[in-house]
Amino acid sequence: MISEDKEKMQPASAAREGREGYVPAPDSTLADALSGAAAAAGVEDSVCEATSGGEDSPGEAVTPEVAAGEEAYAITQKAIEMLRTVYDPEIPVNVYDLGLIYRIDFTEPDRVLHVDMTLTAPGCPAADFILEDVRQKLLSVDGPKAVDLRLVFEPEWNQDMMSEEAKLELGFL
């Protein structure tokens, strides 16, 4: 499902800070990404309960909230991995590192992967090709039952949204 929804769009910084949905910055560390995903899921880092009373217990039971947060994080990481295989035919950089992905959010109750993305320009001649490629790659991720892909143009994309790697590849650094 592809739709435009400008009112519900949030700045990429808000998504990366975990205010709604969570998209790790392309150049973030694993520790930053894990803590951001946990914060977005409303899970504290130390939420685990022992299976039996005592320090000698062989393992720990994971609460449903932690398990859901871990699953959402794993699905988000798989989605990012797949998005890094989608390229704008005119630019030799993938759509994730270009900063075209504004939000990735997996909702547990309905098992839908919600993705908000933009294009480098509203009149992009490769828009249909890119959107279909993104949709197909996201549908191949195990876990979600559906993908809600929304094309948005707020905030307007600019070169500052690219990862350092993308800027280097394109000669902007």
Percent of the chain with pLDDT over 70: 64
CATH number at 15 reads 3.30.300.130
Q: Compute the distance between CA of residue 133 and CA of residue 128 in angstroms, rounded to an integer.
A: 8
Please list the residues that pair with 60 across neighbouring strands.
50
Closest-CA residue to 119 (of 140, 142, 146, 89): 89
35 pLDDT above the threshold of 80:
no
89 pLDDT above the threshold of 70:
yes
Chain centroid offset of residue 37 CA: 10
Percent of the chain with pLDDT over 90: 53
Query: How many structural domains are present in the chain?
Result: 1
pLDDT in tens, 58-86: 556 667 777 778 999 999 999 999 999 99
Average pLDDT across the chain, whole number: 77
Domain range for 115: 2-41+50-169
